[in-house]
Amino acid sequence: MAESFNTPCASSQPDSWLSDHLIERTSMTADKIFGKLPATLIPGDGIGPEIVKSAVDILEALGSPFEWEIRQGGLAAIKESHDPLPQATLDSIRHTRLALKGPLTTPVGGGFRSINVRLREEFSLFANVRPVRSMVPEGRFDDIDIVLVRENLGGLYVAFEHYIPIGDDPHAVAFDRRQYARRIAQDHRVCI
């Protein structure tokens, strides 16, 4: 098993109203009510382990209710099991139904298929939903409150690399996105 990511935060003494407020709000965390929630933790490649450790430290400081099952993906998994996305990792995600992963290597031009694409396909993660709000009042872009929805299982996001000529441009790319848009709309009761 990889190193533990459960490290105490640098200071246990709250030094501001925000810290007091966060501690007060998290005093009745889910683990006190239901027990720890199992979640799969995939540290990732390159800067991934550092990013994931920081994310876990932040979650722990806020009273994280997670019991991490650390599994490998990417280059670390290739070293251990000769597979960038081992069955043990997939089984853990399937069991916990929750995962936090760091960036994973995808070789350019060959080697192995994108791990992110494999995860999307394996778990039918067909929509990427990103809420966006203005954070700075009277900033460059004020009063923004939108939700961006991108489909993940078709077209360029799954490496279907083929060109469909449009007019006289042999390099133009066209994809019929209606099937993906309908699925997102039906599953989320959105009007398109």
Say what the pLDDT of residue 179 is.
64
The answer to whether 125 touches 67, Cβ cutoff 8 Å, is: no
Indicate the range of 33-42, 101-110, 122-131, 183-192 predicted with least confidence. 183-192
Say what the pLDDT of residue 18 is.
45
**pLDDT grade, residue 178 (50/70/90)?**
low
Predicted confidence (pLDDT) per residue in 145-174, tens digit: 998 887 777 655 555 544 555 667 666 555
Higher pLDDT, 93 or 135: 93
Q: Residue 66 — φ and ψ, nearest 5°?
A: -95, 140
Say what the pLDDT of residue 165 is.
58
H helices of 26-71, where? 30-34, 48-61
**pLDDT grade, residue 190 (50/70/90)?**
low
Predicted confidence (pLDDT) per residue in 61-101, tens digit: 999 999 999 999 999 999 999 999 999 999 999 999 999 99
Q: Which amino acid is located at 131 in the chain? A: P
Predicted confidence (pLDDT) per residue in 12-41, tens digit: 333 444 444 444 444 455 555 568 899 999
Q: Which amino acid is located at 121 in the chain? A: E
**pLDDT grade, residue 142 (50/70/90)?**
confident
Higher pLDDT, 39 or 183: 39
If residue 169 lies in a helix (H) or strand (E), which one and from where to where? Answer: none
Return the DSSP state at 158.
G
The answer to whether 96 touches 40, Cβ cutoff 8 Å, is: yes
Say what the pLDDT of residue 188 is.
57
| Average pLDDT of the chain to the nearest whole number | 76
